[in-house]
Chain A
Amino acid sequence: MSELLQFLFSGLTVGAVYALVALGFTIIYNASDVVNFAQGEFVMLGGMITWFAHAAGLPLPLAALIAIVATAALGVAINKLAIEPARGAPVVSLIIITIGASVFLQGAAQLVFDKQIHSFPAFSGDTPLRIGGATIQPQSLWVIGGALLVFVGLWLFFTRTLLGRAVLATSNNRLAAQLVGINTNFVMTLSFALSAGIGALAGVLATPITLTAYNVGIGFALKGFAGAMLGGMGNPKGALAGGFLIGLIEALTAGYLSSTYKEAAAFVVILLVLFFMPQGLFGRKSTERV
C-alpha cells in the first residue's frame, strides 16, 4: 500500500510538470492553431538558465526570475521571427518550423551552456516528508502546487479579465475578434510569452528533482503533448488532467512493469487515444469548416 502511495507521489510530481507543458501547448494552440514542438525547450531553458545564473553567483529566486523572463522573451521572438512570417503556411511547414526552433534551441543551449547534467538546490531543503508510510520531497509539493496555481491563475485570467477574454475571442474566431477591435497580433505575442514563461517555470520548479540538460526538452514536449491530447486538444482542464494522468501512468509503469520502458508509456497512451477516442477525455468532436 505504501509502495503504491510512493508511486502515486512520484507520478503526481512529474505529472505536474507534464501538465504545465500541456497547458503551454494549449495556450498557443488555441490562439493560433499552431502545435508548438519547441514547448519542451522552454522547460529546458527554464532549468538551464536558472542553473547558469545561480552558478554565476546570483541568488536562486533572482536566477529563476531571469530564466522565466528570458524564456518568455525567446518565446515572443520565435513567434515574431519564425511563426508570424509563415502565417497561412500548411501545417507541415509550421511543424517543420517549430521543430526547427526546438532543434535550434537545443544546439544553442549546447554551445552557450554545455552538455553536462545540472541541478540546483531544492527551495525548501531535502528533508522528505512522511505521509502514510511513503515519503515525498518538499520540492514535489512546490511542483504540484505550482501547476495548480498556474491553472487557477490562467482560469481567472481567461474568464475575469478583459485581456484574457480577448485571447479567448481570438481563439474562437480570429477575424471576428479583429472586427470588434482586438489586436490579434498582440494576443499572439502574449500567448507565446505566457506559454514560454509557464514552460520555464515548470523547468525551474522541476530541475531540483528531475535534473536538466540541453536535450531534456524533447521528452517533455512528447509527454506534454500526450497529456494535452489525452485531455482533449485545446482544452485547459483536459491539459491539466491529462498531464497528471500521463505522469501517474508513467510512474506506475516504472513501479510495476519496467523502469527502463517507463518512457514508452506516453507513446502507448498517444496511440491508444488516437485509436479509441481521438477527441480526448474532455474534448468535443471537432468538425473542420472549409
Chain B
Amino acid sequence: MPKLTAKSATLLVLAALIAVTPFFFPSGYYYRIGALIFVNGLAVTGIVILTGYAGQISLGHAGFAGIGGYACALAPTHLGLHPSLAVVLGAVISGVLAYLVGRPILRLKGYYLAVATLGFGILVSMVLNNERRLTGGPDGIAVPELGLRGLLKDWGLDLTNGEFWYFFCGLVLLIGAWIALNLHQSPSGRALRALHGSEIAAGTVGIDVARVKLQAFVISAVYASVAGSLVALQNKFITPDVAGFMHSIEMVTMAVLGGAGSVLGAIFGAGILTLLPQALTVFAEYEQLVLGLVMMLVMIFLREGLLPSILRKLRGRGE
C-alpha cells in the first residue's frame, strides 16, 4: 500500500470524522454544535497559518470575523448583493484591511503586531456597537437566508437546517484545511516556516521576510472573515460579540491548545473549547479564568500543543 502523505492523512481523518460522527448524534441539536466546531476550526486554521507557520500573533482576529459577519448582514439589504457574494465582499474587505494594517507593522518585532491587532479588534467592535443606525448596535441585526438549502431541495436533496449547516461548514472546513496544508508544502509555506525558526536567518537566505509575513496575515484574516460570515448566515443573526476581544482570545487559545503548528491539532483544540461550554453549563462563569490558564499552561508545559504532544507519545511507544 502506498504510504499516505501527512496532507492526505489529515484530510482523510477530517473527512471521515465529518462523515461518521452524525451516526452517533442522539438528537438534531448536535448538528448545530458540530457546525459550530467546524466554523471555529476554520477560523483557527487561519491562526495556524499566521501563528503556527509564520510565528506571528494576532489578538484581534475577531475583528475580521466581525467584518465577515456584518458583510452578510448589511451587503444584501444595502447593496442588493446575494448573501454568497456578501461572503466574498467581507473576505475582500478583511484582506485589504489586513494588508493596510499589516504592512507597516510586520517589518517590526512580534509584539507590535499583537498590540496593533488588539487595537484593531477593539476598534471594529467599537464601530459595530456604536453605529446603531447601520449595525443595530449591541442588540445585533438580522442576516438574510443563504438560500443554498432551498436550491439543494429543488435538486432532490432534502436536508434539515441543522444537517445542511453541519455538512456545508464541514465542507468549507475541508477546503480551508486543504488550502492550508498545500500552503505548508509550497515555497511560500517553506518561507513562512523558515522565518518562524529565525527571521534573520530566513532573511539571509533571500526570503522577503516582511512580504511573506504580510501574506500569512492577509490569508488568516480571510479565514476569520469567512468563518464570521458562516456563523452569521447560520444563525441568521449577528451581534458585535463576534468581533469582541474575548472571541479573539478564544481563537488563539483554541489554536495553541490543540497545537498551532498542525492543522488537525488546531481543529482538535477548536473542538475541545467549543464542546467544553456545552458539556459544563457552569463553564460560562469560569470561561475567562480557564482560557487564561490554558494559554499559560500550554505555553509553559506543552509548547507544541495537545495533539502533536500526544502523537509523539504514541509514536515513541510504538517503536
Q: What is the interface of chain A, defined by CB distance below 8 A to chain B?
A: 35, 37, 82, 85-86, 89-97, 99-108, 110-111, 218-219, 222, 225-226, 229, 260-261, 263-264, 266-267, 270-271, 274-275, 278, 288, 290
Contact = CB atoms under 8 A, between A and B. Distances in A.
Given A100-B296, A100-B299, A104-B292, A92 B51 contact: yes
Nearest 5 Cβ contacts at the A-B interface: A104-B292, A100-B295, A107-B288, A107-B289, A267-B119
A86 B288 contact: no
Interface residues of B, number: 46
Contact of B296 (A97, A111, A260, A290): A97
B241 interface: no
A271 B290 CA distance: 32
A103 B110 contact: no
Given A103-B295, A226-B115, 13 more contacts: A35-B111, A86-B300, A90-B55, A92-B110, A103-B249, A104-B293, A108-B289, A219-B122, A226-B119, A267-B116, A270-B115, A270-B119, A275-B104
20 contacts: A35-B111, A89-B303, A91-B110, A93-B303, A99-B295, A100-B294, A103-B246, A105-B292, A107-B289, A110-B285, A111-B285, A218-B245, A222-B118, A229-B112, A260-B130, A264-B123, A266-B119, A267-B122, A271-B101, A278-B107
B299 A93 contact: yes
Interface in B43-69: 51, 55-57, 59
Contact of B108 (A35, A90, A108, A274): A274
Nearest to B293: A104
A202 B292 CA distance: 24
A72 to B, nearest CB: 20
Contact of A97 (B119, B285, B287, B299): B299
**Chain B binding surface SS class:** helix
Contacts of A225: 115
Contact of B289 (A99, A104, A226, A266): A104
Nearest to A225: B115
A82 B292 CA distance: 11
A82 B104 contact: no
A96 B256 contact: yes
A219 B125 CA distance: 13
Contacts of B108: 274, 278
Residue among B115, B245, B256 with the highest chain A CB neighbour number at 10 A: B115
A274 B245 contact: no
Interface of B: 51, 55-57, 59, 101, 104-105, 107-112, 114-116, 118-120, 122-123, 126, 130, 200, 245-246, 249, 252-253, 256, 285-296, 299-300, 303
Residue among B108, B249, B287, B296 with the highest chain A CB neighbour number at 10 A: B296
Contacts of A278: 107-108, 112
Residue among A103, A260, A264 with the highest chain B CB neighbour number at 10 A: A103
A199 to B, nearest CB: 17
A104 B119 contact: no
Contact of A96 (B57, B115, B116, B126): B57
Contacts of A264: 123, 126
A226 B294 CA distance: 28
B292 A100 contact: yes
Contact of B249 (A93, A99, A267): A99
B148 to A, nearest CB: 37
A106 B286 CA distance: 10
Contacts of B289: 104, 107-108, 110-111
Nearest to B199: A288
Nearest to B296: A100
Contacts of A95: 57, 110-111, 114
A103 B56 CA distance: 20
A89 B299 contact: yes
B111 A91 contact: yes
A278 B300 CA distance: 31
A241 B295 CA distance: 33
A82 B296 contact: yes
Nearest to B105: A274
B27 to A, nearest CB: 31
A10 B314 CA distance: 61
Contacts of B130: 260-261
